[in-house]
Amino acid sequence: MYCRNCGRQVQEGTRYCPYCGSEMPRDKSIDDRQRAAWENRG
């Protein structure tokens, strides 16, 4: 699972990103879209 704010990988089920403190989404499909967006930033 990846943080939607900083893009770092965080443990599944984490409520807040340990790196930037952002609240993590509860819907996995949202997380998958966020990860794809970060990977395509290149």
Residues 11-23 pLDDT 10s: 988 999 999 999 9
Q: Whole-prediction pTM value?
A: 0.58
Give the pLDDT band of residue 5 (cuts 50, 70, 90): very high
Quote the strand ranges of 1-42, DSSP E: none
Where residue 25 falls among pLDDT bands split at 50, 70, 90? confident
Give the model's confidence band at 42: pLDDT under 50 very low, under 70 low, under 90 confident, else very high.
Answer: low
- Give the single-character DSSP code of 37: H
